[in-house]
Amino acid sequence: MESDQPELVWPAEGVTRAPYRVMADEEIYRLEQERIFRGPVWHYLCLEAELPEAGSFRTTYIGETPVIVARDKDGAIHAFVNRCSHKGALLCLEAAGKRQAFTCVYHAWTYDLAGSLRSVAFQKGVNGKGGMPPEFRLDDHNLESVRTAVLEGLIFGTLRDETPPFEEYLGPAMVAQIRRVFHKPVEVLGYYHQVMHNNWKLYMENARDPYHATILHAFFTTFKLNRLTMEGGITLEHGGWHSMNFSKGATMRQGEYEGTGIRSVVEGVGLADPSLLESRQEFADGITVAIQSIFPTCVHQQIYNTLALRQVAPQGPGQAELHWTVFGYKDDDAALRNMRLKQANLIGPAGFVSMEDGSIGEYVQRGIAGTGLERNAVIEMGGREIASTTASRATEATIRGFWTGYRALMGF
């Protein structure tokens, strides 16, 4: 039975305000697990490229719920909760691998690659004594299934039957962005993992936020990879639940940052190895930076030639883990692959661009502690609308869109 609603009155200003309390309250966090992560929502699980053959599997999360994704002997994709039906122990302890079945280390209950229970140790007892009762049926104890959807090699899952079809959930512009990048086969180049000492929503706000990108990230602006003076815009779908921030590097206007006192403009510096900044235009639309956020916890990024998916796994009101999957195309030539590997230094926990994102959320978490929890964040940059635009990226419309989806699911 679903828990009672925590007492929270959302500010009258609507999504132009966000109560700091939602970043720290235990009851609100618990309700998020029910209404968002176990709600009618699609969650990124992994790439098909990570399941290359029969028996391949990968473990992941939907909120705090551990999940296994596997490919069976016929090539079909299955997902199920990583929890033995007997005592509730984690069934699979590895991050990835290949096997023919999953056997619990606790009591050796064994499941196939579709999550069906196939055997129970000592089900018939020993020497005709003990064992499970005669009415025990294996089919009554299969693993909890996760409904899946696959789009251009991305695997998403939901724990609710009533979740709308995946492409309908995304909207045409979000589907188009996935198809833009995943237009040919990909392969994984590597992974990053990091623990962030802040609420999961602070990172999801940050990933949507074009306003901070050229202020907080000194590397972006110093080396002219991304500035608000470039052409670009924001695209929103599903009432703002999903969004994309994008820019075109070749369109930067000169001189608009100099003399502003903005922290991120560092003059007179260079790189010992400037080849880090070498890039190749891969897309005909001229977009060089595109950060796509799929509600609630998936981020899909193109930063020049580095391509990655990010997934946030909440670990309590004040902590979350961020998982990065860095990929390229199978047909990359040697020069392009080398560019991708070098540019992978821009992202991840110590990335020249992403490093600050791993700490700024903690600064907020620490800043709102105590009396700050009774206050609200102000989200009015660019006005109060939630709409796509190419007029300016100096806007928080994408964040207002996130809170629109959040409030709809949480009932606030």
Q: How far apart are CA 132 and CA 109, in angstroms?
A: 12
- The parts of the chain modelled with pLDDT lower than 50 are 1, 257, 259
Whether residue 154 contacts residue 166, with contact meaning beta carbons closer than 8 Å, is answered with no
Q: What per-residue string of b and e applies to 274-299 under the rule 16 or more CB within 10 Å gives b?
A: eebbebeebeeeebbbbbbbbbbbbb
- Which segments of 89-230 are extended strands (E)? 96-98, 102-103, 110-111, 117-119, 145-151, 154-158, 186-196
Containing H/E element for 32? helix 26-32
Residue 253 is predicted with a pLDDT of 54
Q: How far apart are CA 165 and CA 126, in angstroms?
A: 49
Containing H/E element for 215? helix 210-216
Q: How far apart are CA 287 and CA 278, in angstroms?
A: 16
Residue 1 is predicted with a pLDDT of 43
Residue 226 is predicted with a pLDDT of 66
Q: What are 230-251's pLDDT values in tens digits? A: 889 999 999 999 999 999 976 6
Q: List the CATH code of the domain at 43-151.
A: 2.102.10.10
Q: How far apart are CA 200 and CA 194, in angstroms?
A: 13
Residue 372, Cβ density class (10 Å: 0-12 exposed, 13-18 middle, ≥19 buried): middle
Q: Could you give phi then psi for residue 303, rounded to 5 degrees? A: -120, 100
Whether residue 293 contacts residue 312, with contact meaning beta carbons closer than 8 Å, is answered with no
Q: How far apart are CA 263 and CA 224, in angstroms?
A: 14
Q: List the CATH code of the domain at 173-410.
A: 3.90.380.10
Q: Where along the chain do its domains lie?
A: 43-151, 173-410
| Residue 335 structure tokens | 């020069």
pTM exceeds cut of 0.85: yes
Whether residue 31 contacts residue 399, with contact meaning beta carbons closer than 8 Å, is answered with no
Average pLDDT, the chain: 93
